[in-house]
Structures are given as C-alpha cells and as structure tokens.
Copies of this chain bind each other. A is one copy, B any other.
Amino acid sequence: MSQELILNQRVVLASRPQGSPTPENFRLEREALPDVQDGQVQLRTLYLSLDPYMRGRMSDAPSYAPPVEIDAVMEGGAVSVVEQSRNPAFKEGDLVVGQTGWQTHSLSDGKNLMQVPKDLPSPSMAVGVLGMPGITGYMGLMNIGQPKSGETLVVAAASGAVGSVVGQVAKLHGLRVVGIAGGIDKCRYVMDELGFDACIDHKSEHFAEQLSEACPSGIDIYFELVGGKVFEAVLPLLNQHARIPLCGLIAQYNAQRLPDGPNYLPLLMRTLLTKRAKIQGFIVYEEYYHRLEEFMQAMVPLVKDGKVKFREDVVEGLEHAPDAFIGMLEGKNFGKLVVKVS
C-alpha cells in the first residue's frame, strides 16, 4: 500500500539545562515519518501534556527513570488519533493516550497505548483530570494519605492538575482542605470554584503565619508536590500520625546544589519521630497504573457530575511547548498545562 509522506515536527533535547531550562535546551526539527510497519499504528498528536516530572528527564542525574538522550525527542504523554493502523487492536479514528513525546506524529506498536473514551467533553482530559495527574492525586491521597472525615489536608500547587484533584476528593471525604497557590487569582479560583476551605498565597510575606491560621487543628495530610519553603512551613503544623504522600518537588527541580543552611534535615527527622509521621514517595506509573480501572470508576462520575472540577491552560502549537514548559516551572500556568498540537 502506497503511503503519503508525513512530515513529523518534533522537539528534541538539544542540551542539558544548568539550573532553569532555557529555550536553547530545546530544538524544533522536521523529519519524514517512517512508513507504518506490520503491528504498528501511526498517530497524530492532538494534545501534549506538559508536566513537572519532565524536568527530571532533561538531567542525567540518577533518578527512577533514564534521562532523555541528547538529540532525542522530549518525553511526554499525549492524546493522539489513530491515522493508520496495521495493528488489529486499533482502528483509524481511535483516540489513544501514551508516552508518545513532544511531536506531531508518532509510530507505536500499541503496547503502551490506552484507548480514550470518545464521550469525554475534551480528549485532553485523558492527560489531565482523568489521566496521569488525576491518578497521581487520587491514588496518592487514598492509599498513602488515608483521608478521614474531620481531618485537615494541605496541598500546594492547588490550582494545578494534581493539587485540584487531591483537594476536591479530600473535600468529598469530609476533610478540611487548605490549598496553597501562587497569587490572588489562583487562590480565589481554588476557594470559589474548587470549594477549598482556604487557600494561601505562597508569595505572601506572612505565608507561614497565614498557613498556621488556616489550619487551627494542625495538618493531618500534607500532599507534597512542591518541596522547598512550603514544606518548611508545613513541618511545625503536622499532627500526630500525619501522612505525607510525596510525588513531586517542583520548587527544587532547577536547583543546582544543596541550599545553604541551616540544615533542616534533623528537624524533619525529629518531627517525624515525635509526631509518628510518615513520608512516602511514589511514582504513579509503577505503583498505581494497574489500578486504572478503579480510578476511572471513582473519578469519571465525579467529573461528569461536576463534583470534581478542573481547569486547563491550553497553549496552541508544538513550537510553543518549550516556553510553556519553562513558564510552568516558574508557576506561570493556571490549571493543567496542555499543548494543542493539531
């Protein structure tokens, strides 16, 4: 069968960042997409998800996943449409989600693709509230956080993809929910739209005092996405048997060396000991993806009924992905950041 020549546009890693990434660390390329082979599908990317973990893949420091190689396509999850299929599990027009990278087209053997329900209001939800960030928030909260009615939960990046799910689901379980976000607009959204009990601006001069006032009964669950100064303000407020699910540290991803002292490590350890508290790191792909169905059964009705709301920050065009990503690491996005690719 003769195939039409497809020009694939892709963003590759040009160099590894020192500190904050810059546009020079990325390069936009065009290449002819190879022909589809037996067993493969040809995909056209609709929505590329931009997520903080990608900063880790740009570095070659040891981590839970290997880094992106220099000159290789940046890693990323995306929703795509099947344009050609030589794999019996997929047909033309199917919507799928997978780690297909920062590019307009891709080929896949189908092994790590998941079908996306066609009745979603927007397919982009499959990389947001009903995708990796949603599963991360829901599973980390329910399994490590173990929320109990009447407790207090704090989550930072509260207007973002993970934080908004964590807070709203905790609220549905009867917790007092305090968000942390950057700026008045985000805080207002978190309280007025997402229904959190309070939201504190981490840029405020009196952040630590305000957080303490918003948590009159202390903190039982701190869902950790950011690290840095926020965590230092949370520490003295932790209650006995506090639980800290840990799945992100965006505030420290660009750090090139350990911060100056004092050394807070002994204070953390003392707090964990005297409060009998728990911190547990997790990576959603490995820990919880086999429980995707459980997640979807719980979350799809909540989203459809408007009990879990979400906000997307949509950037148009793959060529803008690097700038959008760099901005996200500085907290410039407002809601789940996705790139509308085609």
Q: A64-B274, A274-B62, A286-B276 are in contact. Are A257 and B265 (CB under 8 A)?
A: no
A248 to B269, CA, bound (A): 9
User: Smallest distance from the beta carbon of A29 to chain B beta carbons, Å?
Assistant: 30
Q: Is A207 an interface residue (CB 8 A)?
A: no
- Interface positions, chain A 216-267, Cβ under 8 Å from B, are 224, 227-228, 231-232, 240, 246-249, 252, 255, 257-267
Whether B263 lies near A248 (C-beta < 8 A) is no
Contact A227 B266 (CB under 8 A): yes
- A327 contacts B by Cβ under 8 Å: no
Answer yes or no: A92 CB below 8 A from chain B CBs. no
Cα A311 to Cα B166 in complex, Å, equals 49
Q: Which residue of B lies closest to A260 (CB)?
A: B261
Q: Copy number of this protein in the oligomer?
A: 2
Assuming the A-B contacts A246-B272, A279-B272, A279-B278, are A263 and B262 also in contact, with contact meaning beta carbons closer than 8 angstroms in the complex? yes
A120 CA to B180 CA in the complex, in Å? 57
A216 to chain B, nearest CB (A): 17
Q: With a CB–CB cut-off of 8 A, which chain B residues contact A56?
A: 274
Interface on A for B, CB 8 Å cutoff?
Answer: 56, 62-64, 224, 227-228, 231-232, 240, 246-249, 252, 255, 257-270, 272-283, 286-287
Complex A-B: 9 CB contacts under 8 Å: A62-B274, A246-B273, A255-B266, A258-B261, A259-B261, A261-B263, A263-B264, A276-B280, A277-B280
